[in-house]
Each structure stands twice: as C-alpha cells, then as structure tokens.
Structure 1
Amino acid sequence: MNGELVFTVTGASAIAATPIGLADAGLKERQHLQEWVIAHPQVLGPSVKIVAFEFGSWTGYTGEKEKDRLDVLALDSDGHLIVVELKRDKAPDTVEMQALKYAALVSRFTRDDLDKVHARYLSKQTGTDVSVEQAAEELDAWATITEESLRLPSVVLMASDFPPTVTATVVFLHQQLGLDIRLLAFQAYQTANDVLVTVSQHYPPPGIEEFVLSPEVNEQQKAKSTKQNKQREISTVARLIAADVLSPDERLTFRAPSTDLQEQMADWLDAEPGRRHATWQDDAAAPLVWEADGKSYSPTGLARLILEEAAGKTSQVQGPLYWVNESVQSLVDLAASLPPAADVPIEVHTSKLSVALKPIWESFDTDLMHSASDISRQSRVKSIKYYRKKKLCDLLVHGDHLSVYIRGLSAAQHPIGHGVVVGGTPRYIHAQIKTHADIAPVLNLLKLVYDKQEA
C-alpha cells in the first residue's frame, strides 16, 4: 500500500475503504488490468495511443523465436514507443530485465513493422479487416514518427508493489543512464458498495525528475527535452494542417502560460501594433506570420523571439502552448482534441452559399476539376481543398464571395489589389471570387501553380 487513504463520503459521514489485492477482488491480469489500460491509455501518461497488446511476433538477436509476449505497446505524441509490462500482484524481481529485453526488440522496429503491428491490432479490436495503409494513416494523424524516434522507446512497469531490487535498478537506469522508465503502482479498495482502483506514479516522483538526475545525465535529459519539444511542435502543426482546423489568415494571439510573465511583458507587447498577434498559414515549417514584421516563423521560434525581446528570457519553450485562438485554445489544445483527419460532407460548405453565389461556385468547381485529369478535391472542416501532386488551394465560403488561398504564389509577384488578389504572403496569395467574371483570372493563377508542380 502506498500510504493513501480512500473514503466513501456521505455528507459528514466518511467510511474508510479497505485496501485489497486484485486477486481478492476476483480480478485478473489480462482479462481486467490489461483491458483497463487499453480502454484508458491516459493512465500511462498524457497523449498516449495504444499500438498493440500481447505482441509476440518477433525474433530475438540470436535468430530464435521469442516465446514471451509484450503486454502493451503504446505510442506517445512525440512518436516514441512505450513498452508496458503489467503485473496483477507484486512485481517479480526480474520484471525490469524483461521490459528492457522488449524495449531492445521494439527499438529495431522499422516504420513498416509498426504499421503492420498496428493494423493487426485494429483488425482484432474492430472485427474488420484494417489495411496497413489505414493503420499508417491513423498513426500519422497521432504523431510524427521517424526512424530516430523509434530507436528510443520508453518503459512503464505497472504492478501493485515493487521489490527494493527492482526499484533500485530502475533508479539506476533513470538517474545514471538517462532511460525514460517509470513505475506505476495501483491499489484496489473495497468500499461499502464497490471496488475502486487507484493508479499513481511510484517512480520518479512526479514533478521532481530534474532533481533526481546526476549532473551529466541532467544535461543529456535537457538536450533530449529540446529535441522532443521540436518533434512535439512538428507533430502539433502537422496535425492541425491535416485536420484543417485553422483557416488561412486566422488570427492567433501570444499568451504566456504564466499570468505574471504575461503582465511583465505587457508594455513591450503594446508598444508596437502587431506584436501580440500572428496569422496562420498552411506551412508546416513556418505556419505563423508575425504581424509586427510580416515574416514567417515556427510557433517556438516566434515565442522565443518575443520572450527574449520582452522579458530577456532565453530558455527552451514549447512554442505551440503560447499561441491561442479567439476561444483561448492553444495550438496544443486544438491538436490534442483532434480525431484523425477525415473528409466532411461538402454540403457543410455549400449550404452556406447564397442563392446568387451557388451557381458561381458550381461553375468554378466544375471548371477547375475538369481543367486536368489529376486534380482532386477534399472537403475538410474549415475549407474545400484542391490538389494536384500537392495542394493547389483552399476555398472558403463567405456570405458574398469565395476566398481562394493559392499555394506557391507570392504576393510580391501578384500584388494585392491587382485584379482578384486581395491579400497574400511570400508563400501564398488570397484571391476573391464574387462574380462569374472572377473565375477565369483565378483559374489562370491556379494554372501557374499546376504548371510549377509539373515541372
């Protein structure tokens, strides 16, 4: 028992629950504990996705078939695998060695291996035949996965208690070797009416990891954290773009996570127009255009620039946390709430068309789709997207016009106010269609992009 006390409370009456083992409650390791973790992966950490369970289709370093099965294989939002070992009762003395063996084996996974493993898992869970391509799309919607990220799996050991030898080994692996390894302890309680189960992090103590690392490993962890922040930002931006969450030119506001820090920076932010704001563009490398200088930045790059100029701070930051929409949701919040990107009915957009605008859109859509055989269309939450090899444009429906954001053309070459062009950046231009006469000029601009992609 970890020392916690659990009570059933009715008004002023509190009855202490009795700690019991899972076996005493008639609960089993695979039929119950494993299913809880699969159904609620958040017990393993924030933003965790289950990839497979009871996996055993691998070959060891000697070439012999491994007999043991990994309980649960998961993936975090940074693209790192998580090896999970579950024990219903007190963990055996060798549990950490078993988990390390599995970590070594999964570290040899290629991306193809991972996609196939997840396809088998999804097929078993859904009772339908899920293709490797479908599994890959689901994983890509969850995280940016690279060969490098697959080489660094983390380990989670979960049991009701851990022998001192296991804890000592885990502390050594974490503090001295920098391995991302955690111990999660669960405890069952019998109340007057129900059986309750709690899960808590036994090691490392939550929130003080940096204080239990040796100086050398602490520096390694800081470097690793910097790389993970970059990977996390790439994953966040990629998911937002794929799901079409933000409209081109949608305005975002800089907001420090600390109220005191935000107030400290207020005078600098207010000194010049635009310092607080950036607009979104569909560019994975530099999705923010700062209104203060019109230049493109990554969320982290711009957040660090503002923090350094306004408060003299040069520490590493998770930039997507610092940019919020009009509903005060950060880029991280938006990405975390997303399901895998999917088409929506095109009527979501066409239902917004006025009687006068509907035939104009129909003519534009028909002319564009028939202008070449390899042009395709997707209907997403925020816009209708048209593609060739890459995206050609985003189309948004407004009350009295269509906004067409054309990728790959620069506002410097197609000046604002010239014909149908009403806005733009070095990476795209914003054109408007209000009448049938506007269709041909916009199609001519799109043909320029089409020809660039063919070159």
Structure 2
Amino acid sequence: MTGERVLIVREGMPANAEETNLGALGLRERQDLQQWILKDPSLLEDGLLIITEEYDQWSAPAGTPVRDRLDLLALDEGGRLVVIELKRAKASTEAHLQAINYAAMVSRVTEDDLARMYARFLSRRGESVSGEDALQRLEQHCDGELDPLLLKQPRIMLVAGAFPTQVTAAAVWLNDMGVDLKLVQFRVWRAEQPAPDQPASAVLTLSTLYPVPGLEDFTIRPARAEKAEAAHRASQRSMGPRAVHKIIDNGLIPVDTPLTFRPYGGNGLVPEGALKAWLDEDPKRGRAVWVEDRNEPLKWEFEPGQYSPTSLAKEIFERVSGVRPGNLNGPRFWIDEEGRDLVEIAGSQADGG
C-alpha cells in the first residue's frame, strides 16, 4: 500500500475509500480484468488493437508444441506488437522473464501468422472474417502497412496490482538496453457504504508506473541503432492515424477538400527531377480529395481507390522508382490550399486554430 488516498464525493462531501484487491471483491484475472481490457484496450494505452488472447499455439523448431499461454497480444498505432501480461495481484519476481519469453516467440511471427491469429480471435467473438480481411484491418490500424522491422521488435507491457523491486529494477535496465517494457499498475478501492442498506461501490485506477509519463527522454538512454530505428519508425507511423483521427473527430477538413502531394523533407527516395516530371505529366497524379474515412481518408484523383496518407505517398514513390519505401511520415506529404500539411492541420486544434 502507498500513502495515496482516494476519496469519493457524495452530496458535496468526500468519503474515504479503502484500498483492497480484486480477490477481495470476488473478481478474477481472466474472467474480469482481461475482459475489461478486451472491451476497452485504452484502459492500458490509446491506440491498441487486440489481436488475440490466451494464445498457446507455439512450437519448437523440431515441431514440439510449447504450451505457454500469452494473455493478450496487441498492435499499436505505430505498427509494433505489444505482449501484454496480466497479474491479478502483485507480480512475481520473475514476471518480466515470462514476458520476455513471449516477446521472443512473438518476434518470429509473420504477417500471415498475425492475420490468422486475428481472424480466429474475431471468430471466437462472433465475427467471421477471412485471413485477407483480417490482414487488411491490421494494416489499416497502423497507417496502411505492416513493417517487418517493427514486427521483430515487440513491446512488453506488464499489468499488475503491484510490482516487486526486482521487476521495477529490471524494467529500468531493460529499457536502457533498448527493450521497450512498460509497467502499468492498477489499484482497487472500496468506498464506504453510503447507507447500511446500500452496497459499497468499487473504484479502479490505472497508471503507468514506468516509464514515467513525460520523462521517458530523461529516464531511458538512447538504444542501439536498430532499436532506435524501430522506435523512430513506430513514432513516425503512429502520427498518421493520430492526425487523421484528430482531423475527423474535430471536423478540421470538410469532405471533398482538395489536397496536393508535396515532396517532404528532402527524402531522397527518388531523384527530384524524376518525381516532378512524373507528377507534371498528369496533374491528377499529385491530387487527392478528403473523404470521411478514419482508415483511408484520401481519394486519389489519378485512379479509383482510397488510401491512407502514407499508403498513397508510398504508391506515388513506387510508381516513379519501382521500389516501395519502407517508412514515411505520410501526413507530411499532403497539403491543403493554404499550404498546411495534415500534421499541422491536426495540431491546429490544440493551438486553438
């Protein structure tokens, strides 16, 4: 227990809440805590898409089944897999080791593996989809494409009522070494009964224990090159869905607004002259209109079809060079008539614009 107090305001007066645990309230890890997260993954983090639960279909190189059971596997908006391990009470001193084992196994999965996992997960929840449709949903969640490098660098998230010193110390060191491990602590409080004939109410709080929110740059040292590249790619990719969702949620771009492709940041993906020549050959190649779609908000004027900002930018570069880029900050390539790109338009809401 910590020194934090939780009070519930009733009839203008605060009433004390006593800290307790899930077991004392008759709540369980799999049937309750896990189901809450399945229904609302944002309890842990915004932008998580659950791919599967209770997954145990692993096998050793010789084909021998490995019956370790992963609680939850998710995909974040940056395109990284997230191994989520849940503990109803205090985590064991070896909880991080179990999660690392799962992350190692998850790092070997392919796009097709993920599509099959997700399709089976949806089927168990009453929604029948093909593997192809499941893969498309996964791609749409992270701005149009799954990046093989990011899939090899899964994140780890431990969720528990408390963490022993061994786990918190390991989390700090593993993050220093480039392993993205996040500790989420939940606490349960039981409020005093408002009246003798009324049941006591319970309060659940969740907080990121590590990395300390807002202090990641100070508490996590720079990782090795490949880890840093994965983190950079994930950060860039997550900007796409976030910008699109913010624009749609706040009505910042009217439907059918024209947008223009603008080569951004001296990317060096193709010779500037070749790109300009290809765009000038038919002005429609560099134009799109905004549509009300959270996954594919751009309708290309050059050919029928809808795209995410990143996938259409990649399509244009591939048409010019014959090679599809692996990593782009797509929203930066599309500007309105005032010259604002999608990231700037999305940020205008926070700036009061």
TM-score normalised by the chain length of structure 1 = 0.54
1-structure distance, mates of 2:164, 2:125: 34
2-structure distance, mates of 1:298, 1:118: 26
SS in 1 for 2:179: coil
Match of 2:205 among 195, 198, 208: 198
1-structure distance, mates of 2:334, 2:132: 36
SS in 2 for 1:8: strand
**Does structure 1 residue 285 correspond to structure 2 residue 313?**
yes
2-structure distance, mates of 1:147, 1:286: 16
1-structure distance, mates of 2:343, 2:231: 15
2-structure distance, mates of 1:107, 1:35: 25
2-structure distance, mates of 1:226, 1:107: 18
> Is residue 249–residue 279 contact of structure 1 (8 Å, CA) maintained in 2?
no
1:60–1:202 Cα change, 3 Å: farther
> Is residue 150–residue 230 contact of structure 2 (8 Å, CA) maintained in 1?
no
Per-residue deviation, 1:221:
6.8
Which residues in structure 2 correspond to 1:216-231 (within 5 Å)?
A: 216-217=222-223, 223-231=229-237
2-structure distance, mates of 1:69, 1:89: 18
Per-residue deviation, 1:286:
8.0
1:220–1:246 Cα change, 3 Å: farther
1:182–1:12 Cα change, 3 Å: same
What's the counterpart of residue 70 of structure 2? 70
2-structure distance, mates of 1:237, 1:202: 27
> Is residue 87–residue 159 contact of structure 1 (8 Å, CA) maintained in 2?
yes
2-structure distance, mates of 1:280, 1:246: 13
What's the counterpart of residue 31 of structure 1? 31
2-structure distance, mates of 1:223, 1:146: 12
Please, what is the CA RMSD of the aligned residues?
A: 3.4
> Is residue 18–residue 191 contact of structure 1 (8 Å, CA) maintained in 2?
yes
2-structure distance, mates of 1:72, 1:230: 25
What's the counterpart of residue 155 of structure 1? 156
2-structure distance, mates of 1:246, 1:58: 48
2-structure distance, mates of 1:247, 1:9: 44
2-structure distance, mates of 1:115, 1:300: 29
SS in 1 for 2:99: helix
Which residues in structure 2 correspond to 1:32-431 (within 5 Å)?
A: 32-61=32-61, 63-126=63-126, 128-143=127-142, 144-175=145-176, 177-192=177-192, 193-214=200-221, 216-217=222-223, 223-233=229-239, 247=255, 249-250=257-258, 280-281=288-289, 282=299, 284-285=312-313, 299-300=331-332, 320-324=342-346
State the number of aligned residues: 275
Per-residue deviation, 1:159:
0.6
Per-residue deviation, 1:10:
2.0
What's the counterpart of residue 444 of structure 1? none
Higher Cα Rg, which structure: 1
> Is residue 184–residue 206 contact of structure 2 (8 Å, CA) maintained in 1?
yes
1-structure distance, mates of 2:229, 2:135: 29
Whichever residue aligns with residue 109 of structure 1, its letter is V
Whichever residue aligns with residue 77 of structure 2, its letter is S
SS in 2 for 1:217: coil
Whichever residue aligns with residue 171 of structure 2, its letter is V
> Is residue 259–residue 334 contact of structure 2 (8 Å, CA) maintained in 1?
no
* Percent identity for Structure 1 against Structure 2: 31
Whichever residue aligns with residue 211 of structure 2, its letter is P
| CA-to-aligned-CA distance 1:196-225 (integer Å, 9 cap, x gap) | 1111111111110110123x4398776544
Structure 1 residues 75-84 or 134-143, which shifts more?
A: 134-143
Per-residue deviation, 1:238:
9.3
| CA-to-aligned-CA distance 1:212-248 (integer Å, 9 cap, x gap) | 123x4398776544322432356668999xxxx9755
Whichever residue aligns with residue 70 of structure 1, its letter is L
| CA-to-aligned-CA distance 1:288-317 (integer Å, 9 cap, x gap) | xxxxxxxxx9533689xx99xxxxxxxxxx
2-structure distance, mates of 1:238, 1:17: 40
> Is residue 50–residue 74 contact of structure 2 (8 Å, CA) maintained in 1?
yes
> Is residue 233–residue 300 contact of structure 1 (8 Å, CA) maintained in 2?
no
Gaps of 5+ in 2: 193-199, 247-252, 261-285, 290-298, 301-311, 316-328
Whichever residue aligns with residue 4 of structure 1, its letter is E
Gaps of 5+ in 1: 253-277, 288-296, 308-318, 331-455
> Is residue 88–residue 160 contact of structure 1 (8 Å, CA) maintained in 2?
yes
What's the counterpart of residue 404 of structure 1? none
SS in 2 for 1:285: helix
Per-residue deviation, 1:11:
3.9
